[in-house]
Copies of this chain bind each other. A is one copy, B any other.
Amino acid sequence: MTRTIVASATREVVIGFDQPFCVIGERINPTGRKKLAAEMIEGNFDTVIKDALEQVAAGATMLDVNAGVTAVNPNETEPPLLVQTLEIVQNLVDVPLSIDSSVTAAIEAALKVAKGRPLINSVTGEEEKLEAILPLCKKYDVPVVAISNDETGISMDPDVRFAVAKKIVERAADYGIKPHDIVVDPLVMPIGALGSAGLQVFALLRRLREELKVNTTCGLSNISFGLPHRHGINAGFIPMVIGAGMTSAIMNPCRPQEMEAVRAANVLNGTDQNCGTWIMTYRDYKSAEGGPAAVSPASAASAGRRGGRAARAGAAARME
């Protein structure tokens, strides 16, 4: 069984097919968030702190930490800023962290101060990346997200993306890194632009699980880019990728609809023992739509009808 172990100073989390889905909170990332970038440049971490606390309260399993505030001379400026951000977050919350940077020096600087066992985000199939990042994984004994693109870009052919993932796993093995320490991102295309994006990724996830036996992740909300009511598409996508074998995602845990989909899929995937998390979270739930309907005679009768079917099944099961 594939087990990717990540840890904070005191808390270990296992990413795996038999584990609850690992929600990697995406919010601590100034890319495209001008206000946050400006704050971080000024040394103001109020939003970072708020985002860290809110995401953990909302149910994030891990937090991604990115400090890529500028394209100007990031090799000099990003390492100290990433270290500062990471230290603030790891002193504040007790979840494992994902060190997210395209600057190798920033990743290494963060690895030096990170407590526990962080995840590196990320390596790709590009030679330069492989040679920069894989030695760090080995040296610090940490897992890494492997994005399935290379020098030629992102292939629209899922077989090519699978081949890139396979190459990364093989190259990692050359460094003595096991497949269970590679978390593959098969790359999710926007379904509004490519109607087969869903079917592609479901097929890829099954192959990655069965053939490479690796854990997987993705930037979840990419799937709904450009469509109205993106939360609805995201919330439908989550159970489908979990059903296909995805074991983590980089996403916004502060969205109730998406987190509800994660919790439901954990129940259905058999990784929420005795439905404990579901029952604890929703035992007093009053649905906006179902409020009045839930007590209407029609609804009560309908619940009874379902009960009848379920009771039949239950009775038959007890007979066996």
Q: Which of A261-320 contact B (CB under 8 A)?
A: 261, 263-265, 267-270, 273-275, 278-279, 282-285, 287-290, 297-298, 301-302, 304-310, 312-314, 316-317, 319-320
Among A78-86, A112-120, A194-202, the one that faces the other chain is A194-202
Residues of B within 8 A of A156 (CB): 317, 320
* A236 within 8 A of partner (CB): yes
- CA of A124 to CA of B66 in the docked complex: distance in angstroms? 57
> Are A236's CB and B267's CB within 8 A?
yes
> Are A222's CB and B269's CB within 8 A?
no
Residues of B within 8 A of A195 (CB): 270, 273-275
* A187 within 8 A of partner (CB): yes
Nearest neighbor of A202 in chain B, beta-carbon distance: B243
* A237 within 8 A of partner (CB): yes
> Are B301's CB and A34's CB within 8 A?
yes
Q: Which of B36, B187, B229, B260 contacts A285 (CB 8 A)?
A: B229
Number of chain copies forming the complex: 2
Distance in angstroms from A301 CB to nearest chain B CB is 4
Q: Would you give 19 A-B contacts (Cβ < 8 Å), ordered by A?
A: A27-B302, A29-B305, A31-B305, A33-B305, A154-B312, A156-B320, A190-B314, A219-B306, A225-B306, A225-B310, A231-B289, A232-B263, A232-B285, A233-B267, A235-B261, A236-B261, A236-B264, A240-B240, A240-B265
A residues neighboring B (CB under 8 Å):
26-27, 29, 31-36, 149, 153-156, 187-196, 198-199, 202, 219, 221-223, 225-229, 231-233, 235-240, 242-244, 252, 255-257, 260-261, 263-265, 267-270, 273-275, 278-279, 282-285, 287-290, 297-298, 301-302, 304-310, 312-314, 316-317, 319-320
Q: A222-B306, A233-B268 are in contact. List 18 more A-B contacts (CB 8 A).
A: A32-B301, A33-B298, A33-B302, A153-B320, A189-B313, A190-B310, A193-B317, A225-B307, A225-B309, A225-B310, A227-B282, A228-B282, A229-B278, A229-B285, A240-B265, A243-B244, A255-B289, A255-B290
